[in-house]
Amino acid sequence: MKAVAYSIKSFEKAFLDKANQKKHDITLTTDTLGSGTAIHAKDKEAVIVFTNDDVSANVIDKLAALGIKYIITRSTGTDHICKEAADKHGIKLFNVPSYSPQAIAEHAVALAFALNRKLIKSDQHSHRFDFRNDELIGFNFSGKTVGLIGLGNTGLAVARIYNGLGCKVIGFDLSFPENDLHIQPVTLETLLASSDVISLHLPLTPSTRYLINKNTLDQMKDGVMLINTSRGALLKTIDVIEALKTGKIGYLGLDVYEYEKGLFFEDHENDLVKDSLLQYLMKYSNVLVTPHQAYLTKEALQEIADQTIRNLDLCK
């Protein structure tokens, strides 16, 4: 199978080579997929993309004209792909249904730990040889109520960690899974009102977009900790900023951002004009933002590469 893989980072190459074993003829490019780079797919049968690639209707039209029959995304989410356009051209879609939920779960909890114990601030102070303990007080997770919205593989992995910490874990999902974990199923309203920590583990769909908005934020405890490692648009950012201003949100940990496309995964340090909304958000000392790195473990990268090659194997 001839394919071109877009948005390839240097650290991905070894994992893909190990998975592929020269079975498929894959051209790797650091370019993101877009109208101007679709031409890289000429004489190929498949394109391999990531969440930051432009897989809109216009781009898919161009890919179809070049003879592309398959689109494979190195992600679980497929909200960046125009499925209607793919269907129109008979292009088959493949994703990575699940990969190392532990990687995402551990990062989500790491954000919570770092925020609670103010690790970023204390590290910065220590590097200046300021070893005072002022303004570094945190809380015990043991005995706190953690609300998980979304109980797929990642949500369940997060639950196991918080169970081990002695937390009361409650969860909301449209189809509550059968498991032996100590997760109490509750309504969304109960979860919002009862949780000290709320962690999101949902795909982005029309029904989940802006799930966290002024109305749902108003239902939360004052000073709640909110963690999102799923998709940026689960949160309405302007409403979240207002909740930070009032103290409704006491801690905010984000590995994703509503407007991250074209921003995350790239170096924008020297841009003259930066995303003003994100800049404003990061002014708050109780906000921690990481650049969509929750998946970034050796184990997860190999699983993603392995599944990507298996998906190519299925392209017939």
- Average pLDDT for runs of 10 along the chain of length 316: 96 96 96 96 97 96 97 94 97 92 97 97 96 95 97 94 97 79 91 98 95 98 98 97 98 97 92 94 96 96 96 90
DSSP for residue 221: P
Give catalytic residue positions: 231, 260, 292
In the three-class reduction of DSSP (H, G, I as helix; E, B as strand; rest coil), residue 307 is classed as helix
How many C-beta neighbours within 10 Å does residue 142 have?
A: 10
- Give the C-alpha separation, 308 to 76, whole Å: 11
Enumerate domains of the chain plus CATH numbers: 2-99+298-314 (3.40.50.720), 101-289 (3.40.50.720)
- Give the C-alpha separation, 292 to 309, whole Å: 23
**CA quadruple 84, 60, 207, 163: dihedral, nearest 10:** 130
User: What pLDDT score was predicted for residue 174?
Assistant: 82
- Give the C-alpha separation, 161 to 255, whole Å: 18
Cα first-last separation, the chain:
9
User: What pLDDT score was predicted for residue 274?
Assistant: 94
Q: What is the largest CA-CA distance in the chain?
A: 64
User: What pLDDT score was predicted for residue 272?
Assistant: 92
- Give the C-alpha separation, 244 to 284, whole Å: 8
> Per DSSP, which regions of 154-217 are E strands?
168-172, 183-185, 197-200
Cβ-contact 183, 169 below 8 angstroms: yes
User: What pLDDT score was predicted for residue 179?
Assistant: 63
User: What pLDDT score was predicted for residue 258?
Assistant: 97
User: What pLDDT score was predicted for residue 73?
Assistant: 97
